[in-house]
Structure 1
Amino acid sequence: MDILNHIMSALPLIFSVEVIIAMIIGTVVGITVGALPGLSATMGIAVLIPLTFTMEPLVALGMVAGIYNGAMYGGSIPAILLRIPGTPAGIATVFDGYPMAQKGQARLALKISLVSSAIGSAVSAVALLALAPPLAAIALKFGPADYFWLALFGMTTIAVLLSSNPAKGLLSTCLGLVAGMVGIDAMTGSERFAFGSMDLLSGINIIVLLTGLFAIPPAIDLAAKSIFEKKATQLDLPDERVRWKPFIPVWIKSSVLGVVIGIIPALGGNIAAVLAWNEQRRSDPNNDQYGKGEPKGVAAPECANNADTAATLIPALTLGIPGSAVAAVILGALLVHGLRPGPQLFRDDPEIVFGFMLTMFVTAILMFVIGRFGARAFVHVLKAPTTLLAPMIICLAVVGIYSIHNSMFEVWLMLFFGVLGYGMERLDIPTAPAVLAVILGPMAEESLRRALLISGGSFDYLVQSWISWIIIAMIAVTLIVPLWKRLRRSQPSSGDQE
């Protein structure tokens, strides 16, 4: 009943003029960003956050929700038309979307993608509303020791699962931990890693780090590569009527798969899309048509990767553990507006958090409306020259960062993290673990020190709770399974030994 009351209290807020305008703008920007190959929802939100400081929290979060949902659909536009996934989650859409475009069914493929994306996003938002509050109630039972292990679990999970090489993921996490310790220690007042600089005494602003790692590297890539050489497929065929009934089982199966994968940290929309496409092909009697322009091969991945969007926010909002890079950036947006992710968010600011969850549902509807009437216009965005787009992204990032504290030092710091992020990507070192470590590192440190203060310095207190033991077991599994698999692959088979 409390959940229903909170939803009813949030409804008038999200239907205010300011929030509706913010959601519309965010959705348009998100579709445009997703439609540009090389850009992503993560980058779009990272660039947006510094520009939302003067907005009310729900207005800013409504715009974030629009960008997130819109970008996931927008990635299918270049995937279908150019065989270039606009976002990583659009990879599986290429398999059947581009062959459909080659057969003159580009508009049909875009329509199927739009409807499937809207359904997936709506299901994901409902799952967020249904599952997040109960999980937050359970999280209220966590003590300082439990939060320490939880933060450690979040960092190790992302570090190990987000990279093909766990060592590189852990290296990225360590870089984030160092960055998170810069500044004055809140408990002792001592200076840490500031090197005598007054600008570093307050620590590294999370927005500076996010913008540097996620907005600058794609801009450098766009400047270094020519990715707009191909012409967009002309959509001059008449609009085709679609029989939607055969797609219903596809949407149900793919939505469930996307929600489940979204809740699991570090998997993400690209894995959800590939698994949904593969499962649909496996279960279809006409599986030999997949990869050759089968419409259901477009519906399954698009529904799954959009069902992942709000679901990946479930652990982020309730436990403060982001399950993906974009969830980490959204947590940064919450922190910027003075909202601390975790169970206390549902207790202290229920109208805002429930309002944000409702905006995920409303923007799914807006995405369908805007995509239905603006598909042709979005196609022309692909013609934007790289030489113009890359400087615009960098200039927008510089202006946004400078506007935080009117500090050129933070601008240079952002550019430094941008170059560092570009180098990490070239070396196949994931940047998401570094961002998560900056967010979760201080939480882990604070919880550990509080637990030791409560126990008088006894480490036994860290393992007294059954919740702690469950999380420790999950950490062990996370670390051991990849190492075991790597060890088995490295051992020669009996045939090789002979």
Structure 2
Amino acid sequence: MLNEILFALEAVATWQNLLIMAAGIWGGVIVGAIPGMTGTMAVTLALPFTFYMAPVPSILLLVALYKGSTYGGSVSAILIKTPGTASAACTALDGYPLAQQGKAGKALNMALYSSVTGDFISNLSLIFLAAPLAVLALRVGPPEYFMLMLFALSTVAGVSGNSLLLGLISAALGLLLATVGEDLYGSFRFAFTDNMQAGLSVAPVLIGLFALPELIKLIVFRAASRDIAAKLGDQSVTRAEFMGSLKSILRGSSIGVVLGAIPGIGPSAAAFFSYGEAQRSSKNGENFGKGELEGIAASESANNGACGATMIPLLALGVPGDVITGVMLGAFMIQGLTPGPLLFQTNIHEVYMLFIGMLMSSVLLFGAGKMTMRMFSYVSHIPQTLLTPVVLLLCLFGIYSISSSMFDVAILLIMGVVGFGMFLMNIPAAPFLIAFILGPMIEENLRRALAISRGDPAVLLSSPITWIFAVLIVFVIGLTVRREIQKSKIRKA
């Protein structure tokens, strides 16, 4: 075995492979930082170029693009409150307020350190825990998925701001919009046009809800905010600040690994889940959403922690963990590699090369992040009169380039107006987005669970895993009610 590993290390550690991975990481970071340009798009566009490459370098290129784009979404989320990817939406909640306080450099550094740590832990988990986590994922059926997603939805209470009622209203609106389109049994809901039959895409809703309201505010309140500009500064994360967030980084990485290993969940749900858990357990929980480094650490460690973990079911079972690994499955097949249990018997050399290359990519991600940070730091020095149309064009171009659909562009603009209206009424946007992302997964697994049991709701508490999540849901609801009672007493006093 040792000889196989050393031989694989020698085969991977060539300047050609390192150059391929560096280009993938660099390109992924840049694509992820551009609003609307998702990691799925980057991997899909790069797929044809891998047809003429050797198997392992081609897979490493796609993995590097995936990891780079996941981190890159945090750059624009922090600097201009425009998450480049859905998994970076939580990062914007604390990253942008820090940028407004002149601490953008500190926020970007924390995002990078958390991403690299989560990515490295995820890679180690892929290497040592692939088989056990794959077996666990096989035991998670629709009832367990439903209770897990319901528990993740409880993070709404943590990001509702000062009013839980407004947060619940926002989440209800998100769940309502999540029902648009075709359901599991072919029925259409709210499908007023042909375009709505496919439902609303996450990208235009995400960008419209978080980016466009900021642009509208710059225009409407131009006189009041003329002198306000985010300053990058030269602020590094201190040892005390990093150690203070280390618990959230490790917990977020673990959440990312577990949720990433379960097919269909992905980095976005892991980021929201981790953010909510960090806020509930942190002594600075009240400061989340106002500029808290620990919030960035929790979000970024989880979404990057899920990247390597999504490869676990792909390699061990041949089941893609998310959309991007679905594209990678095609790349494996094109290269003559068949993911699944037999892969570890027939192509163990290629598996070792892939593992070693993924560990190297964590180091390359750190270097690319540092270099890109300096390049994108100039965004904070662009005058608002120039930045506003540039960001708007990036949003419009990014959304249109995904599916060449003017309907998605219309949804982007409509959600921008809706987001601005929510801002005026002090309705938080984060619960809306959480509910919108989790809504389809909650409905799908609920209906499948009830179909399996022929309508018996007892199936939702039919296993130890479902009971664990049920107890956690009750515990979280109890803490939320207790917190609201305490707030009510403080107001009366």
Using structure 1 for the length normalisation, give the TM-score.
0.63
Q: CA deviation at 1:470?
A: 1.0
- Could you tell me the percent identity over the aligned residues? 26
- In the alignment, which residue of structure 2 is the partner of 1:23? 25
Q: Give 1:184 deviation, angstroms.
A: 2.0
Equivalent runs, 1:187-266 vs 2, <5 Å: 187=185, 189-195=186-192, 197-225=193-221, 229=227, 251-252=242-243, 254-260=245-251, 263=255, 265-266=274-275
1:469 Cα deviation from its structure 2 partner: 1.0
Unmatched 5+ stretches in structure 2: 48-61, 81-90, 256-272, 311-320, 330-338, 345-350
Runs of 5+ unmatched residues, structure 1: 34-43, 76-84, 99-108, 279-300, 320-330, 340-345
The CA deviation at 1:307 is 6.9
* Alignment-derived partner of residue 324 in structure 1: none
Alignment of 1:80-229 (within 5 A): 88-89=94-95, 119-130=113-124, 133=129, 137-155=135-153, 157-164=154-161, 165-187=163-185, 189-195=186-192, 197-225=193-221, 229=227
1:19–1:59 Cα contact (<8 Å) kept: yes
Following superposition of structure 1 onto structure 2, how do residues 316-335 of structure 1 map, counting pairs within 5 Å? 334=324
**CA distance 1:379–1:450, shift in 2 (3 Å):** closer
Residue 145 (structure 1) shift: 0.8
How many residue pairs end up in the alignment? 405
CA separation of 1:60 and 1:88: change in aligned 2, threshold 3 A:
same
Quick one: which of 470, 473, 484 aligns to 2:471? 473
Compared with structure 1, are the counterparts of its residues 186 and 207 closer, same or farther at alpha carbon in structure 2 (3 Å cutoff)?
A: same
Residues 1:391 and 2:412 are matched in the alignment? no
Per-residue CA deviations over 1:462-485 (Å, capped at 9, x if unaligned) read 211111111111111222211122
Q: 8 Å contact 2:275–2:295 — kept in the other structure?
A: no
State the distance in 1 between where 2:280 and 2:421 align: 24
> 1:256 deviation in Å?
3.5
8 Å Cα contact 2:35/2:398 also seen in 1:
no
Distance change in 2, residues 1:465/1:66 (3 Å):
closer
Q: Label 1:92 to 1:125 Cα distance change in 2 as closer, same or farther (>3 A).
A: same
Report if aligned partners of 2:26, 2:68 keep a CA contact under 8 Å in 1.
yes
Residues 234 and 488 from structure 1, CA distance in 2 versus in 1: closer, same or farther, beyond 3 angstroms? closer
SS of corresponding position for 1:266: helix
Flag the 1:370–1:433 CA change in 2: closer, same or farther, 3 A: closer
1:171: Cα distance to partner?
A: 2.0
Report the Cα distance in structure 2 between the residues aligned to 1:408 and 1:116, rounded to whole angstroms.
Answer: 37
**What residue in structure 2 maps to residue 485 of structure 1?**
483
Is 1:439 equivalent to 2:437 in the alignment? yes
TM-score by length of 2: 0.64
Per-residue CA shift, 1:117-169, capped at 9, x if unaligned? 755543333333345756665343212111111111112x2211111222222
